[in-house]
């Protein structure tokens, strides 16, 4: 999975208005569908924890067990099936505030944003909470992420809860 795909999955919500605002933190479930140009799809599911400005943890439970964690500077991907850890430095970084400031209302509950030459569609529910994010990744796949059961907080999630945990016996790859 591309590190840019993972980073983009952070795009978030807010209240209906001129710009989307990120909460201090949120946690919930997600379903991610990736569709290639030949219309073949793969669906992932799991949970997410996000703490502003750029720390998050995705726990994939379907179809494979994988954890993806970042502190905004490095992404760690733990593939439990392969017993492997891959670490990537985020080459461009991600300024979520800048991305979300570019989001403009398209119609009620739907925003569009252009960031780093990519277009994103962000949908919020009637409460102004994040519902969906759609975009094309670097491989021209269409990515749709549907969020559910999100709980918003005005308090940060402790960094210890956003770290990827894995056995010391896993192979490690650093890029």
Strands (E), 63-174: 66-70, 74-79, 84-89, 104-107, 110-115, 118-124, 130-136, 142-153, 171-174
Q: CATH says 3-158 is which class? A: mainly beta
The structural domains of the chain, with segments of one domain joined by +, span 3-158
Cα R_g (the chain), whole angstroms: 16
What does the pLDDT profile of the chain (175 residues) look like in tens digits? 544 444 444 433 333 344 566 688 999 999 999 999 999 999 999 999 988 777 889 999 999 999 999 887 888 999 999 999 999 887 654 445 556 667 889 998 899 988 888 888 888 888 778 889 888 887 889 999 999 999 999 999 999 999 999 999 999 998 7
């Amino acid at each position: 999975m591309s590190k840019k795909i993972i980073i983009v999955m952070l795009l978030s919500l807010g209240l209906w208005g001129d710009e989307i605002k990120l909460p201090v933190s949120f946690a919930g479930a997600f379903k991610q569908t990736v569709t290639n140009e030949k219309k073949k799809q793969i669906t992932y599911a799991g949970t997410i924890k996000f703490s502003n400005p750029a720390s998050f943890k995705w726990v994939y439970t379907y179809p494979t067990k994988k954890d993806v964690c970042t502190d905004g500077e490095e992404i760690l991907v733990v593939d439990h099936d392969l017993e492997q850890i891959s670490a990537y430095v985020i080459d461009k970084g991600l300024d979520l505030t800048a991305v979300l400031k570019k989001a403009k209302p398209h119609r009620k509950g739907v925003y569009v944003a252009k960031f780093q030459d990519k277009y994103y569609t962000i949908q919020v529910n009637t409460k102004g909470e994040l519902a969906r994010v759609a975009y094309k990744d670097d491989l021209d796949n269409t990515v749709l992420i549907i969020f559910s059961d999100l709980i918003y907080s005005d308090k940060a999630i402790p960094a210890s809860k956003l770290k990827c945990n894995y056995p010391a016996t896993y192979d490690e790859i650093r890029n």
